[in-house]
Amino acid sequence: MLRLALPTSTRVLAPRFKVLFTTPVHRYTSNKDLGPPNQNIINKPNVQTQNPIHTTPSLFEIYQEKRLAQNPRKQVKNENLATSEAEQKSASNAVIRAIFGNIFVTSIKFTCAVVTGSAAMLAEGFHTLVDSINQGLLYFGMRQAQRAPDSRHQYGYGRVTYFWSLVSAMGMFWVGCGATSWHGIMMIFDPPTLIAYGYITPVVLAISLAVDGAVLLSVIRDIKENKPANMSLIQYAKRIKDPMLMAVLLEDIAACLGVVLASAGIAATVITGNPVFDGIASLCIGALMGGVSYALISMNKQYLTGQAVDSKIILQIQDIIIKRPSVEAIARVQSQWVGPYSFAYKAEIDFDGAYFAKILRQAGYEDQFLQVNEKEKLRELMSIYTEDVTKMVESEVADIESEIRALFPDASFIELEPSSAFSTMKSISAKFAKDDTH
C-alpha cells in the first residue's frame, strides 16, 4: 500500500514509478551488458535533470550507505553461475565434435553406397549428410545468439538458437526422412538384381558406429558432469532447454541406431539374397529421422512461442519476494524463456507503505518535518523527501533483484512493477501504532 505511506501531494509520483519499472532498457540489465543505465533516459524539455535544492547526500542516502556497508547485496553464487557456463560450453563442444565426426562419416558412407549400390548405406549417407548440415546451422545460430542485447532486441538474441534449430529439424524431416524413405520404397518395389557389399560395407559401418558412438558418449559424459547429484540422467535430459545440445544428443542416438538398422538390413539381404530387406532398413532409418525431427520441432516451437519458466522456479522466486518485509502481495506474474540460459520475470508488487515510512523515520525525516516552521523550507524538505521515496523503492527493487539472481543466474531480465491496484487497503495508522510500541 505504497500510496498510503506518502503525503497527499506526493501521489503524483505514481506515474514516475510505473515508467521507471516497466521500461526494460532503462532499468534492467542482463548477463550481457546493455550499456550505461541512463543511455536512453528522456527528460522533459526545459527541466533541469538534477535537483538544485540539495547537492549533499540526503538522509536516506546516508542511511542506505550505512546499511549496505553492514549488509551488502547478494551476488550470484559461483556454483550456480559455473553450472550455467558449463552447460553452455558443453553444448558448444558437442556441436563442434559432431560437425567433424559427421563430415568424416558422410564421406565414407557415400563412397560405400556408390561402390556397393546399397539403399541402406545410401540412406545412412543421407542421414549423416543432413546431420552435418544441421550441425553447421546450429553452430551458426549459436554464434548469433552470443550477440549482446541492443535497442532492437532488448531481450537479447537467445531465441535465434531455437530458430536455427527449427530450420535444422525441418531440413532433417523433408530432406533426410523424405529422401531416405523414397529410396527405400523404390528399393522394395524395384529391387536391383545384385548388391555387391564386399568387405568395404562392414568396415564402413564399424567406423561409423565408432565415430558416432564416441561423439554420443562425450555428450553423455558432459551431461553427467553438469546434472545435479539428486537427478537421474533421463530426468536431466528432459529439462534441457538448449536446442543445440538436445539436437546433438538426439541425432547421435539416431546415428548409432541407424548404423544398427543398416547393418541388420544388409545382413538379412546377404543371408537371404533378397534386397527387399535392404529397402526395409532404409525405410526404418527414414522413420527414425522423422521421429527425431518431430521431437526437435516440438521443442523449438514451445520456446519460440514463449514458454513460461518452470513452476518450481516461479514459486521459489515468489518465496524470495514475499519474505521481504517491504512486500505485502504479488500479482500478475509473467515469465518466459528468452534463450536456453536466459529468462524474463515480471510481476506487480504491492509494497508496504508503512515499511518505507518507518525507514524514513529512522533516517531522520520525522525530526526534520517537526522542526520546519517556514513554508519555503517545507517545500524544499518535501522535494527532498519525495526524491528519497523514489530512491528507496528503487533500492528495494535492486535488493530483490540481486537476491533472485543470487539463486537463479539465468534470471537475466527482471521487471518488478509497484502497484496498489490489488491492495487490501489495511489501516496504516494501526501499523504506525505498532511501530511506536517497539
Q: Confirm whether 113 is domain-assigned.
A: yes
Lowest-pLDDT range of 26-40, 247-261, 284-298, 405-419? 26-40
Whether 174 and 317 share a structural domain: no
DSSP letter string, 159-201: THHHHHHHHHHHHIIIIIIHHHHHHHHHHHHS--S----TTHH
pLDDT in the model for residue 260: 92
Cα separation, 85 vs 342, in Å, equals: 12
Q: Confirm whether 67 is domain-assigned.
A: no
Q: Confirm whether 30 is domain-assigned.
A: yes
Whether 118 and 166 share a structural domain: yes
Lowest-pLDDT range of 84-93, 157-166, 299-308, 327-336? 84-93
Residue 416 in this model has a pLDDT that exceeds 50: yes
HEC states along 351-417?
Answer: ECHHHHHHHHHHHCHHHHHHHCCCHHHHHHHHHHHHHHHHHHHHHHHHHHHHHHHHHCCCEEEEEEE
Choose among 417, 337, 335, 398: nearest CA to 22.
417
Residue 186 in this model has a pLDDT that exceeds 90: no
Residue 26 in this model has a pLDDT that exceeds 70: no
Q: Confirm whether 77 is domain-assigned.
A: no
Lowest-pLDDT range of 6-10, 173-177, 345-349? 6-10
Whether 320 and 275 share a structural domain: no
Contact 349, 336 (CB under 8 A): no
C-alpha cell at 124: 545412412
Interhelix angle 160-171/119-145, rounded to 10 degrees, is 170
CATH number for 261 = 1.20.1510.10
Mean pLDDT of the chain: 76
pLDDT in the model for residue 87: 67
Tell me the per-residue pLDDT of 314-359, one tens digit each, with 9 for 90 and over. Answer: 999 999 999 888 888 888 899 999 888 889 999 998 888 888 888 8
Q: Which amino acid is at 97?
A: R
Question: Domain boundary at 276, 304, 332, which?
Answer: 304
Output phi, psi for 259, to 5 deg: -65, -40
Residue 4 in this model has a pLDDT that exceeds 50: no
Whether 127 and 241 share a structural domain: yes
Whether 351 and 325 share a structural domain: yes
Whether 288 and 371 share a structural domain: no
Cα separation, 382 vs 8, in Å, equals: 11
CATH number for 377 = 3.30.70.1350
Q: Which structural domain, as residue segments, surrounds residue 12?
A: 2-38+310-436
Whether 280 and 314 share a structural domain: no
Cα dihedral 54, 55, 56, 62 sign: positive
Percentage of the chain modeled with pLDDT above 90: 7
How many residues are present in the chain?
438
Lowest-pLDDT range of 62-71, 104-113, 182-191, 338-347? 62-71
Number of domains in the chain: 2
Whether 235 and 119 share a structural domain: yes
Whether 132 and 210 share a structural domain: yes
Q: Confirm whether 378 is domain-assigned.
A: yes
Whether 119 and 201 share a structural domain: yes
Q: Confirm whether 73 is domain-assigned.
A: no
Cα separation, 172 vs 128, in Å, equals: 10
Whether 121 and 17 share a structural domain: no
What is the pTM assigned to this prediction?
0.69
The set of residues, in sequence order, having a beta carbon less than 8 Å from that of 184 and lying 6+ positions away, is 119, 123, 279, 280, 281, 282, 283, 284, 285, 286
Question: Domain boundary at 269, 304, 339, which?
Answer: 304
What confidence tier does 380 reach under pLDDT thresholds 50, 70, 90? confident
pLDDT in the model for residue 74: 60
What confidence tier does 257 reach under pLDDT thresholds 50, 70, 90? very high
Whether 133 and 196 share a structural domain: yes
Q: Confirm whether 57 is domain-assigned.
A: no
